[in-house]
Chain A
Amino acid sequence: MLTRVRRWGPGLLLISPSLLLLGVFVYGLIGWTIKVSMSDRHTAAESDGFVGLSNYVDLFTNDINGRFLHSLRNLLIFTVVFLLGTMLLGLLWAFLLERGVRAEGLFRTVYLFPMAVSFVASGVVWRWLMNSGQGDDAGGLNAIFGQLNLDFLQNPWWTDPEWGMVAMAVPAVWQLSGYVMALFLAGFRGIPAELREAAAVDGASTFQLYRRVLFPQLTPVALSALIIVGHMSMKMFDLIMSVSGAQWLTEVPAVYVWQTLLTSDYAKASAISVILLLLVALVIVPYLVQTMRTERRS
């Protein structure tokens, strides 16, 4: 007994502060949020009436104008474009750099640098670039298109009711592609040179080399990139707030939480937050399970 304590004790003691903090401030508060989400606390007044899951049901069936479903749809479009854009551009850039361009370090920095800018700062700039005015009122990119006589490229950007969220994802893609590139580049570098040589000896063409030898080894990297970019996308808030502000056209669940909180509807805000948490968990948990399995195997 005592020996076991001696073995476990010091370690446990060392991590106990962080365990305690995590327990209280992360898991404890998640529990509290879930409790609020099942209460009828819709105003600033204290209220602890238990209403079960009805706040969740209301979000899906009884929200004015189907607002929550609208915000989920916006998030879906945003996420698809964000993921596809960063993955494709990141892979392309990593591929080009991996082929051995001159001044690779410079390009790497140039592509990676947008990530250093905060979404708020870049959002303000992109707000101006994606000015929706056209023709005589054009500004930002639309004005540039106009000056180049490429008027057909002028578009309403994020103010388009159907596909505005595609435009909203453009700044996000711009910002995170470099990061995905860095991940892929590290992946490429991690592949032993022997494999390339062996493929060359076996007479593989360049296409076959990438298709059959290199890309399959990048799968874990691609998965990590997907998870990282995916969970950022789910929680997207600051970029949207600085480009469009909170409004119907571009509303996603995180912005909706903010709007609901401002009106002291704590129960509804908590319910949306919990759904958001579940969405992110949907992405992250399988990844964690998989990582744990591979670690145990090795």
Chain B
Amino acid sequence: MGRMRRAAVAAVGALALLSPAACGGADSGADQEVEVFTWWADGGEKAGLDGLVAAFDEQCDYSFVNGAVAGGAGSNAKQVLASRLQQGDAPDTFQAHAGTELSDYIAAGQIEDLSALYEEWGLTEALPPGLMDNLSVDGKVYSVPVNIHRSNVLWTNKSVLADAGITAEPTTLAELFTALDTLKAAGVSAPLAIGKDWSQLMLLEAALISDLGPESFTGLWTGATDWNSPEVTQGLENYSRLLSYTNTDRDTYDWTDAGKLLMDGKAGFFLMGDWAPSDFETKGFTDFGHLAFPGNGGTFQWLADSFVLPQGANNPEGTKCWLKTVGSAEGQQAFNIKKGSIPARTDVNEADYPAYQQSAIQDWKTGTQVPSCAHGAACSQGAIEAANSAIGKFSSDQDLAGLQQAMSAAAALGKN
């Protein structure tokens, strides 16, 4: 009995020692600190985050705590985040792709509605209406986008095109096919460079935008457009034809490997988002041009990183100040100049940005916004994953009817 009591006393003592430490941590956190959870751990992304933090320090009275989890292009971070959210240990704010990829968090009640703050901060007017439409779920907005990338961009190797005698940029799919044929005849082994599943999905989306136009294309992901319509079939056939001009070992290539085909002059065109030029330039390749994917016209297919206010954040006021910085013109400029993307706001001074970004900002202001499935703006994580699997299968067996059926099923995932 005596021994039991002693053990109990020891246990209580240990708990007593632990609890003030725990409380102390929570107290100071609630007052001062904002833990920002991202997967921006190095390169241009880290530089962008540092710029954002500098703006945050100026605008807010809170201190920034870096909760970055490196590696796996965000997949590690997403795992850590999922378990923290489940344990009710949410960071004060976390990074997530803006748009439908948030639908899981919204359905689970893990993030808060920010519509009122959008009004208060004037974000509703600062962001283009097309983007506001894409972001809204039942009329509510749940995240603040910090940047915009464009995914429907075709990069060219200028000398390869010139050597093959292609002088005019293709503006329609038909002209693109002619140019690809010309390149093939000139002995270019893979006229159109492409990487594995998700980058093939980007190509499929670009082809569909050309055949459906922006509105019907967006409808594919919201359920408004029928995947089995003849227009979609036409788009998939065009995609299938485009794929026949690509490098056959595409499934072994990451996007940087495919980009290298363009740099080495083994390809004339390369479809990739506009994070590609910073990779080109680091590797000393400057002989590239860019055009919107032929047939897409003024359609700007976007993807964005954004920040949210999690349910049960320790320091919601601090998080709101962080979100305000993220949405502010200063914060967006500080971030985007370093990361190589463009601000989501339209009231920015283009002259502050490098040449490519200037043209992208122009297109962003004047174009029609459509969301990207491959990068989570239009699709939930489950839908992206199922679409990538279907794309991977098509790459190996070219079964067009199967692709159409599978994409239709994938797009329906996460819609309940």
Question: Residues of A with Cβ closer than 8 Å to B?
Answer: 42-46, 64-65, 67, 70, 131-133, 136-137, 156, 159, 161, 244-245, 247-249, 251, 259-265
Query: Chain A residues near B105 (CB, 8 Å)?
Result: 44
CB distance from B49 to the nearest CB of A (A): 24
Q: Is the CB of A249 within 8 A of B104?
A: no
The answer to whether A64 touches B197 (Cβ under 8 A) is: no
- Give bound CA distance, A105 to B76, whole Å: 43
Interface pair A161/B397, CB less than 8 Å apart: yes
Residue from A65, A133, A261, A265 having most chain B Cβ neighbours under 10 A: A65
Interfacial residues, chain B to chain A (CB-CB below 8 A): 75, 78-79, 82, 85-86, 104-105, 107-110, 189, 196-197, 249, 251-252, 266, 380-382, 384-386, 388-390, 392-393, 395-397, 402, 406, 409-410, 414
Task: Assess the A248–B396 pair: CB atoms within 8 A.
Answer: yes
Cross-chain contact A262 with B108 (CB below 8 angstroms) = no
Contact B381 A262 (CB under 8 A): yes
Question: Quick check: A132 and B252 within 8 Å, CB to CB?
Answer: yes
Our pick among A43, A45, A64, A132 for the contact of B389 (Cβ within 8 Å) is: A64
Secondary structure class of chain B's binding surface, majority of residues: helix
Using Cβ atoms and an 8 Å threshold, which residues of chain A touch B82? 44, 264
Given the contacts A245-B196, A259-B385, A262-B79, A65 and B189 also touching, CB distance less than 8 Å = no
Given contacts A136-B189, A262-B79, A264-B82, contact A248 B393 (CB under 8 A): yes
Distance to closest chain B CB from A139 (angstroms): 10
- CA of A44 to CA of B101, assembled, Å: 12
A42 to B104, CA, bound (A): 10
Q: How far is the CB of B122 from chain A (nearest CB, A)?
A: 32
Q: A249-B251, A264-B382 are in contact. Are A43 and B390 (CB under 8 A)?
A: no
Whether B252 contacts A65 by the Cβ 8 Å rule is no
Interface contact B252-A137, CB-CB below 8 Å: no
- A161 contact from B380, B386, B396, Cβ within 8 A: B396
Q: Name 29 interchain pairs, CB-CB below 8 A, sorted by A.
A: A43-B107, A44-B108, A45-B104, A45-B108, A45-B109, A64-B406, A65-B389, A65-B390, A65-B393, A67-B389, A133-B249, A136-B189, A137-B266, A159-B249, A159-B251, A159-B396, A161-B396, A244-B251, A244-B252, A247-B251, A248-B392, A249-B396, A259-B389, A260-B385, A262-B79, A262-B381, A263-B382, A263-B385, A264-B82
**Alpha-carbon gap, A186 to B397, bound state (A):** 47
Identify whether the interface residues of A are mostly helix, strand, loop, or mixed.
loop
- Please give me the 8 A-B residue pairs with the lowest Cβ-Cβ distance, nearest first: A248-B392, A45-B108, A161-B396, A263-B382, A263-B381, A132-B249, A44-B108, A248-B393
B249 touches A137 (CB 8 A): yes
B79 touches A131 (CB 8 A): no
Nearest A residue to B198 via CB reads: A247
B395: chain A residues within 8 A (beta carbon) = 248
Q: Told that A44-B86, A132-B252, A137-B249 touch, could you supply 5 new A-B pairs with CB distance under 8 A? A: A64-B390, A248-B389, A249-B392, A264-B104, A265-B382
The total of Cβ contacts below 8 Å across the A-B interface reads 87
Check A131 against B252 for contact (C-beta < 8 Å): yes
Assembled-state Cα–Cα distance A259/B382 (Å) = 9
Known: A44-B110, A45-B104, A46-B108. Is A247-B392 also a contact (CB below 8 A)?
yes
- Closest residue of chain A to B261 (Cβ to Cβ) is A137
B103 → A minimal CB distance (Å): 9
Q: Give CA–CA (A244, B197) in the complex, Å.
A: 12
| Cα–Cα distance between A265 and B105 once the two chains are bound (Å) | 13
B166 to chain A, nearest CB (A): 23
Asked whether A159 lies within 8 Å of B252 as measured between CB atoms, the reply is yes
B389 proximity list for chain A (CB < 8 A): 64-65, 67, 247-248, 251, 259
Q: Which residues of A contact B397 (CB under 8 A)?
A: 161
A259 to B381, CA, bound (A): 10
Q: Which residues of B contact A132 (CB under 8 A)?
A: 249, 252
Which residue of chain A lies nearest to B410 when distances are taken between CB atoms in the complex? A64
Q: Chain A contacts of B380 at CB under 8 A?
A: 263
Which chain A positions have C-beta within 8 A of B104? 43-45, 264
| Chain A: CB-nearest residue to B72 | A262
* B85, B396, B409: the one within 8 Å of A64 (CB): B409
Contact of A262 among B107, B385, B393, B396 (CB under 8 A): B385
- B384 neighbours in A (Cβ, 8 Å): 263
Q: Cβ of B249: which chain A residues have Cβ within 8 Å of it?
A: 131-133, 137, 156, 159
Tell me the minimal C-beta distance from A191 to chain B in angstroms: 47
Most B CB within 10 A of own CB, among A43, A132, A133: A43
